[in-house]
Amino acid sequence: MPDRYRVTVDKGACDGIFACLVRDDRLVEADDGLAGFDPDEAEAVARTDDGVTATFEDDRLDEAEGAAAACPPSAISVEVLE
């Protein structure tokens, strides 16, 4: 059964190191030079001044958590949704 979860990149914390990109290919370099999401891979993507959030429903939660764990400034968070 697929997981439903939300992944957020905090733009204030992201340094553009991109360690996350090798852990989860749905993360991409955005136009601002920071991590963002491939909009074709997400159920929904929302951008604010503070960051970008994508919602997923799939079997790739481990990849998202791996990307968050690989982020040196801890700019990525993953929240499992009910």
Q: Would you place residue 1 in the very low, low, confident or very high pLDDT band (cuts 50, 70, 90)?
A: confident
pLDDT at 63 over 90: yes
- At 78, the pLDDT band (50, 70, 90 cuts) reads very high
**Domain locations in the chain as residue ranges:** 3-80
**pLDDT attached to residue 82:** 85
Q: For domain 3-80, give the fold.
A: Alpha-Beta Plaits (3.30.70)
State residue 64's pLDDT score: 99
> Positive or negative CA dihedral for 29, 10, 47, 25?
positive
DSSP 42: S
